Chains A and B, each alone.
Chain A
């Protein structure tokens, strides 16, 4: 049974149709890539899974049961964690405070209930080390880390808190080649750990490096839905770039 299954999902913002009739499955130990141009509806799609928005049409099944998340907390409680495009970290807060934000460890009771700072610092350091990130100081503001490191902290965090589904919104968009590589490694690591991964990107090369399944969105509609063995990188790139439109453009631009 898929962890998440969407069938015929639609979503509108007032009069704007952001999504129409989109279907998608997320399986444990697999990476589902959602591709599409800017404004294609990628972020909207994952916001429905992560509880920031609700769908108006179609069905969202989690573990085979219909679900509708009223808040990100509700999605998190079902094991669906999201790492947002705009880097869901609070730049001025220390790394360990970011790592445990919303799920802080405490000790003591009543008015003496307080943060277990030592345990959180230690856990943060250990969990990051397990992913190969060695921070000298987890007390430094997370804004001092590089974009790639921040993404990795967010991924490590999701895995630590028992996510079964990891949703990544364009984690490589703002990164250079080398840092993208590092992030893709952690995406693969999450898959190997048995998580179902939804990987949003508009870079077909990044998608093809790790993806098991590809869904291409175009102005809110599904344009393509293929397993890895059903499509080549070249075809994916061509579809992504607009398919026939690209061929036409190539002719147009060709010098004679």
Chain B
């Protein structure tokens, strides 16, 4: 029983059920199976990022540049392919290197300087936010990129990053499957591999980890690069789903990712949390986001609800952990 209570996901499971029951009861369209497809899609767009963000938090760090890095990756791929008339896959690969590079830079600066990641990534966040818009304006003469839908390689890329299929009347977007895969990989790494053990250790007590020979620096840099990788993936999804990218997008999403991870049981101080919990956190986000639309409420209530969920989940998580650690 204590073991079950000590699971980091507990708070998010309770919250998830509560939100589901609530909107199921009050919003007619929420009960339709087709709505579930939309809810899952919206959840997956947050959930894919929430996985590496949760791992990073467990490792004791934040990444405020995660949201704009999604946009930066999409912009890189789009503008590079379009301006040089290349196969879009060239842009896809180049933007992967770019996104991983941003992650590496964050990790390198944090581990080299010892400056808190909150500040380092605030710096890269501002840099990317500014560069996204400035470079886009410079290159395409507007704040969005040109449509790339008739370029070589677009169809294959869309099939991978932004396709969908029907199960009965429900449309399932490919990102939902990718999300499941990422959660599974994240959970595997965290609980079943050596680096997973190191992630908990560097977040829980970095001095102890170093003293017993854990490669602290590599672990942290790899975590930041994991965020970069998923930011690239989401960037590719946005690019191939819409064929064009708004350069101002993504700002503020970094907090949604962090909120999903925290609702899912990640400790702000590091050393504790789970990838599955972050998935539940993302699902809570998706259900609330769509539930409010289905209930016919003003969309502005969404943030209010998210805030309530965040407070509720953190208080519950704290209480549960005290219960579990008490001897």
Contact = CB atoms under 8 A, between A and B. Distances in A.
Contacts, number: 83
Interface in A74-120: 76, 82, 84, 86-93, 97, 100-104, 106, 113-115, 117
Contacts of A93: 197, 200-201, 204, 271
Nearest to A90: B204
B213 A73 contact: yes
A6 B240 CA distance: 65
Contacts of A141: 6, 324-325
- For chain A, what secondary structure do more than half of its interface residues adopt (helix, strand, loop), or is it mixed? loop
Contacts of A76: 212-213
Contacts of A114: 188, 192-193
B94 interface: no
Given A89-B205, A141-B325, A144-B327, A106 B194 contact: yes
Nearest to A146: B327
Contacts of B205: 88-91
Interface string A41-72: 00000000010100000000000000000011
Contacts of B208: 84, 87-90, 101
B214 A102 contact: yes
Interface string B198-215: 101100110111111110
Interface centre among B188, B193, B200, B211 (most CB of A within 10 A): B211
B207 A88 contact: yes
A52 B211 contact: yes
Contacts of B325: 92, 141, 143-144
A115 B207 contact: no
B207 to A, nearest CB: 7
Interface residues of B, number: 27
B272 interface: yes
A52 B212 CA distance: 11
Contacts of A106: 193-194
B210 to A, nearest CB: 6
A192 interface: no
A114 B195 CA distance: 10
A181 B109 CA distance: 46
Contacts of A139: 3
Contact of B209 (A87, A100, A102): A102
A102 B272 contact: no
A87 B201 CA distance: 14
Contacts of A91: 204-205
Contacts of A92: 200, 204, 267, 271-272, 325
Contacts of B194: 104, 106, 115
A61 B237 CA distance: 58
Contacts of B272: 92
B197 A101 contact: yes
Given A89-B208, A114-B192, A115-B194, A103 B201 contact: no
A100 B3 CA distance: 21
A90 B271 contact: yes
Given A114-B192, A115-B192, A72 B210 contact: yes
Interface string B256-267: 000000000001
A141 B214 CA distance: 19
Contacts of B214: 101-102
Given A92-B200, A114-B193, A115-B194, A102 B207 contact: no
Interface of B: 3, 6, 188, 192-194, 196-198, 200-201, 204-205, 207-214, 267, 271-272, 324-325, 327
5 contacts: A76-B212, A90-B209, A90-B271, A92-B200, A101-B209
Given A102-B209, A139-B3, 16 more contacts: A52-B211, A71-B213, A88-B205, A88-B207, A88-B211, A88-B212, A92-B267, A93-B197, A93-B201, A101-B198, A102-B212, A102-B213, A103-B212, A106-B193, A106-B194, A143-B325
